[in-house]
Structure 1
Amino acid sequence: MAGVLIGLALLAFWLFSIFDVITTPEDEVRNVPKALWILAVVMIPLLGGLVWLARGRPRAPREPWPVPPGPGMPKGPDDDPEFLRDLDRRMRGEDLG
């Protein structure tokens, strides 16, 4: 029973890989031509599919990181007016607390 499940999982992965290579636009395929990827996935089912996912599949666009702070947020303590006022009071010796 376990062998049948493993076989079905491998078949599903192989079919997914073939379908993914075929439906990927030619100009988005990475590293080698699309026809070579199809041949690799068909001839070497498990390894070809894994290599396709790792090295051939197009990368998703990424968001820039880190995200800059919003317009109302101070970037650091020295940009916070409240912090600077408190610091100035403490340096002048006006700290009542």
Structure 2
Amino acid sequence: MLKVLPVLLLLAVWIYAFVECLNTPERDVRKLPKVAWILIILLFTPLGPVAWFLAGRPRRNAPYGAVRSEERRWVAPDDNPNFLKSLDERDGGPGPDEGPAPRDAGPEDPPPAR
């Protein structure tokens, strides 16, 4: 039984990679065309499925649902208008077009220059 287990495991990984590659839309496949990935999975059985999982399959955990590399750009919170808007709504402060809130002059402020 232990001699058959690695063969069954390899067969399961190969079938999973092949079916997943067939079901992946052409626009989501990375690095190579989909037909090339199918041939790699079929012809290079031990390494083909591993190459598909590492380099060809679309990333599922990409931010904001992005799949392509140009869509996976990280945006700092102070550059993200949706984040700034959510802060203003939460705090009840001015919107992004209203400018900063007016500040009252206090004892620590220097007198105006003349």
**Secondary structure in 2 aligned to 1:46?**
coil
**Inter-partner Cα distance in structure 1 for 2:23 and 2:12:** 16
Query: Which of these two proteins has the greater Rg computed from alpha carbons?
Result: 1
1:40 corresponding residue in structure 2 = 40
Shift of residue 59 of structure 1?
1.1
TM norm structure 1 = 0.64
User: Which runs of 4 or more aligned residues in structure 1 lie more than 4 Å from their structure 2 counterparts after TM superposition?
Assistant: 63-68
Deviation digits for residues 26-50 of structure 1, max 9, x if unmatched? 0100000000000000001121100
**Inter-partner Cα distance in structure 2 for 1:58 and 1:66:** 24
2:63 corresponding residue in structure 1 = 62
TM norm structure 2 = 0.55
**Secondary structure in 2 aligned to 1:32?**
coil
Amino acid at match of 2:63: R
Identify if the C-alpha distance between structure 1 residues 8 and 62 changes in structure 2 by more than 3 Å, giving closer, same or farther.
same
Answer yes or no: is 1:10 the counterpart of 2:10.
yes
- Show structure 1 runs of 5+ residues with no match: 73-97
Identity of aligned residues (%): 35
Answer yes or no: is 1:25 the counterpart of 2:19.
no
RMSD after superposition: 2.3
Deviation digits for residues 7-32 of structure 1, max 9, x if unmatched? 11110000001001101000100000
Amino acid at match of 1:30: R
Kindly indicate which of the two structures has a greater share of residues assigned to helix: 1
